[in-house]
Amino acid sequence: MNTYFKDEYTFLSEFKERLEKRYIVELANASTRQKYNVLGEMVSEVIADNWMDTKNVLSNNNLKEVYYFSMEFLMGRLITNNIMNLGLRNVIEKGLEIEGLDLNEIEHFESDAGLGNGGLGRLAACFLDSIASLGYPGYGNGIRYRYGLFEQKIQGGYQIEKPDDWLKDGYVWEVRKDEESITVPFGGKVIFEEGNAVYYPDELINAVPYDVPIVGNDNGVITHLRLWNAEPTEKRPSDKDAFAYDSEIRKISGFLYPDDTTREGKVLRLKQQYFFSAAGVKSIIERHLEKYEDFALLPEKVVIQINDTHPSIVVAELMRLLVDDHGLEWDEAWDITTRTCAYTNHTILAEALEKWSVDIFQPVLPRIYQIVEEINRRFCKELLDKGYDQEKVTKLAIISNGRVHMAHLAIVGSFSVNGVAALHTNILKNIEMKDFSNLYPNKFNNKTNGITHRRWLLHSNPELSSIMDMVSDNWVNDPNELEKLLKKATTKKYRTLVKKMKKTKKVALAERIEKEQGIKLDPNSIFDIQVKRLHEYKRQLMNALHIMYVYNKLKSDSNFKENYYPHSFIFGAKAASGYHFAKKVIKLINTIAEKVNNDPETSDLLKVVFVENYNVTYAEAIMPACDLSEQISTASKEASGTGNMKFMMNGALTIGTLDGANVEIAELVGEENILLFGLNADEVNQVNIDKTYNPKAIYDNHVDLHLVIDQLTNGFFEDVAKEEFREISDRLLFSDNYLVLEDFEGYRLAHARANDLYKDEEAWFKATIINIAKSGYFSSDRTIKQYATEIWNIKPIK
């Protein structure tokens, strides 16, 4: 252990001395930025020691390593995580306390590394934490976006997007490694010389790695996330001047596409995908060759996990390097490649399954395109040899109808294809990818997602952590130990403790919301929360319609009002910048909030707030403060969800459909401890096949819902134009693919059950405790152990 952290006095004197040396300032006059930077540097030095040690251990043994390739890593803040995982929190806190300083305030200076859109990127971040904390030799590979996902402001009820300039103050954790830069080729042509393909690219782009340490919890292990930065080289197209070219190249690592379902800026996006995939693969291969000399051992020493289709081009790039640059025969290279790559599927939404038009793909990546063609030719031949008819072959082909199907490339080129929750994997195997699953029955497997209980319980909810400490002294290392809380579900003592914890977290969230947005929430009301990306399939709109229904009832039905427990409905969501309808839903939620919050007749019973700029750091305050977790996607559309798991682990009950991992939550807690409603996945599928969804009929027959839909366009919202929400009512009545009106009645009844259950305090907190106790299954430590043993075949360092 670094001696500065020996005790609080040593720490404090070093801290002061560094402030003076570096910033010529005394502690009393130092700004938060100065204090943050000095603290970050001190912590980084401890990391450096452990990092070297881990590297040395790894270079002295021959363990197999996993590389997690992902276009997104939604890391959030690292300082809290790093300080806690290194075991430094106590000393630092005490040292600062001597001077009346608060560590929290210093931590808040760090901007979130928001290099992801939502669940998929956050999953990657949780996985890195579990990999390091379990001591596995594993690394992330991604892009160092200059700008992360946009910062959201709400103005006049509308979403405004501001650039997320997260690097403006520098980033204390990253280490630039010029020496390990890789050049990535683009464009140009391929010429066959003496039977060999020789690739003459138009441009070479310099990929410079920045390594961000990933600190294992209390085990001395440090792995890293390697983020690639794009920079120009001398080799550029002859018609471009150096200055313009420089800024063009930097765009490749310029910004994250604020959209995880539709594709824009196509060429640039494809370049991004190839850029970090190619740089990652080449750096792996160079490292491998230094150590093992030839490629025969590659699949025994390296596994590349392809997170969604964005990096599936890895398959073709690995083939290119092995065949073109290292002279392997095709068959041998293919055998090595398909034993090294594994693929995770994240969605069955058709619009999100990536397909690249050949017109774009071929000119940007001419040699890669030839290789994909050859993979496809051999694959189609194999199918024909097996007796598949031409129609089937076209359906499964990697290239068909002028498009490259990235999911097909990933499936054909990998030894493992996994879904992210039991239901999702079943849908993949039995419906969406049935033909592939029949062809490769052993490739398909399930790995239900998880979340790191360190960030989402230990760090973000110390109050609940101390309750856990009373029943287990090992739950941090073994989250299954959370189950020890189960036998306390029937004790008054623990119900009271959990209730008190909830209240504390609700008060804290209410204070933050009041401070930032001026809306006062009653911490004794039910905190009913839906936070996640805004998308039609997630059905924030159904939640909003239900709030309108409640409001109408409170105004018109005294029995209803009598029986209604006060609720605060909290939303948080970013809408993709080009997703017009999603943005309308944000406007609707804010319009409802404006109306109901200012009605004195209801405002003691009903409050609505849309929190600005939902991100990881905000989530850390929101999850622990929730009573009712809204997980209400149309069944079969949410692959897993991970927000549902964070809420559960912090003692919220779920109101939800049997979708994604909700199915597994329900199995674990039992149907009496979750509020289920709506069609299940089979029923949704059947409705779609039979085309029996008739929203107009539901509208005609449901008096209360009829009124709500009319209110969207009849001037009920005085402060907006009458036509403002016309497209929402049109969508609901004529073109809604997500069955909002179909599930509304079930949803309404589930809310009524929740309302009654909450009034029975004993029953509610018993259910709460059961949810917490059963949530250990959703630790990403469990998920990562399954990946490690069932896919990766890797062993921990010690």
Ligand X SMILES: *Cc1c(COP(=O)(O)O)cnc(C)c1O
Catalytic residues: 346, 532-533, 538, 642, 646
Smallest distance, ligand X to C-beta of residue 616, A: 5
Q: Is 532 in the site for ligand X (CB under 6 A)?
A: yes
- Kindly indicate which of the ranges 86-94, 189-197, 611-619, 649-657 contains the residues binding ligand X, using the contact rule CB under 6 A: 611-619
Residue 118 or 311: the one with the smaller Cβ distance to ligand X is: 118
Q: Is 619 in the site for ligand X (CB under 6 A)?
A: yes
User: For residue 464, how many C-alpha atoms fall within 13 Å in the half-sphere facing its CB?
Assistant: 32
222-281: which residues touch ligand X (CB under 6 A)?
Answer: none
Q: Is 148 in the site for ligand X (CB under 6 A)?
A: no
- Kindly indicate which of the ranges 86-94, 295-303, 486-494, 614-622 contains the residues binding ligand X, using the contact rule CB under 6 A: 614-622
How far are the Cα atoms of 102, 236, 520, 628, 766 from residue 506, in angstroms, in the given order? 21, 56, 12, 12, 19
Q: Tell me which amino acid residue 590 is.
A: N
Residue 54 or 80: the one with the smaller Cβ distance to ligand X is: 80
d(CA 759, CA 70): 45
Whole-angstrom Cα Rg for the chain: 27
Residue 615 or 657: the one with the smaller Cβ distance to ligand X is: 615
Q: Is 624 in the site for ligand X (CB under 6 A)?
A: no
Residue 502 or 532: the one with the smaller Cβ distance to ligand X is: 532
Q: Is 628 in the site for ligand X (CB under 6 A)?
A: no
Q: Using an 8 Å Cβ cutoff, are 770 and 673 in contact? A: yes
Smallest distance, ligand X to C-beta of residue 130, A: 15
Q: Is 157 in the site for ligand X (CB under 6 A)?
A: no
Q: How many CB atoms lie within 10 A of CB 685?
A: 15
Smallest distance, ligand X to C-beta of residue 372, A: 32
Q: Is 616 in the site for ligand X (CB under 6 A)?
A: yes
- Kindly indicate which of the ranges 114-122, 228-236, 265-273, 587-595 contains the residues binding ligand X, using the contact rule CB under 6 A: 114-122
Contact with ligand X (CB under 6 A) among 40, 95, 119, 311 = 119
Smallest distance, ligand X to C-beta of residue 638, A: 7
- Phi/psi at 650 (5° precision): -100, 15
Q: Is 366 in the site for ligand X (CB under 6 A)?
A: no
- Kindly indicate which of the ranges 613-621, 690-698, 749-757, 773-781 contains the residues binding ligand X, using the contact rule CB under 6 A: 613-621
- Phi/psi at 214 (5° precision): -115, 115
Residue 345 or 642: the one with the smaller Cβ distance to ligand X is: 642
Residue 340 or 530: the one with the smaller Cβ distance to ligand X is: 530
Smallest distance, ligand X to C-beta of residue 113, A: 12
- Kindly indicate which of the ranges 39-47, 51-59, 117-125, 256-264 contains the residues binding ligand X, using the contact rule CB under 6 A: 117-125
Q: Using an 8 Å Cβ cutoff, are 653 and 674 in contact? A: yes
Using CB under 6 A as the binding criterion, the count of chain residues that bind ligand X stands at 12
Smallest distance, ligand X to C-beta of residue 533, A: 6
Which DSSP state fits 775? G
d(CA 322, CA 331): 11
Q: Tell me which amino acid residue 214 is.
A: I
Smallest distance, ligand X to C-beta of residue 436, A: 26
Residue 212 or 616: the one with the smaller Cβ distance to ligand X is: 616
Q: Using an 8 Å Cβ cutoff, are 787 and 138 in contact? A: no
Nearest-CB residue to ligand X? Answer: 643
Count of helices and strands (H, E) across the chain? 33, 25
Of 618, 631, 547, 540, residue with least CA distance to 579: 540
633-662: which residues touch ligand X (CB under 6 A)?
Answer: 641-643, 646
Six-digit token string for 207: 């990929």
Residue 40 or 656: the one with the smaller Cβ distance to ligand X is: 656
Of 449, 485, 470, 461, residue with least CA distance to 779: 449
Smallest distance, ligand X to C-beta of residue 71, A: 15
- Kindly indicate which of the ranges 118-126, 128-136, 180-188, 278-286 contains the residues binding ligand X, using the contact rule CB under 6 A: 118-126
Six-digit token string for 362: 């071929």
Q: Is 118 in the site for ligand X (CB under 6 A)?
A: yes
Q: Using an 8 Å Cβ cutoff, are 764 and 502 in contact? A: no
d(CA 460, CA 92): 18
Smallest distance, ligand X to C-beta of residue 125, A: 9
Six-digit token string for 444: 């398909």
Q: Is 424 in the site for ligand X (CB under 6 A)?
A: no
d(CA 608, CA 424): 32
d(CA 656, CA 654): 6
Six-digit token string for 769: 């405790």
Nearest-10 Cα torsion for 521, 527, 532, 537: -120
Q: Is 122 in the site for ligand X (CB under 6 A)?
A: yes
Residue 27 or 621: the one with the smaller Cβ distance to ligand X is: 621
Smallest distance, ligand X to C-beta of residue 532, A: 3
On the 0-12 / 13-18 / 19+ scale of CB atoms within 10 A, 580 is exposed
Residue 272 or 780: the one with the smaller Cβ distance to ligand X is: 780
- Kindly indicate which of the ranges 462-470, 493-501, 612-620, 749-757 contains the residues binding ligand X, using the contact rule CB under 6 A: 612-620
How far are the Cα atoms of 181, 202, 253, 275, 333 from residue 232, in angstroms, in the given order? 12, 13, 12, 13, 31
- The site for ligand X (CB under 6 A) is made up of 118-119, 122, 532-533, 615-616, 619, 641-643, 646
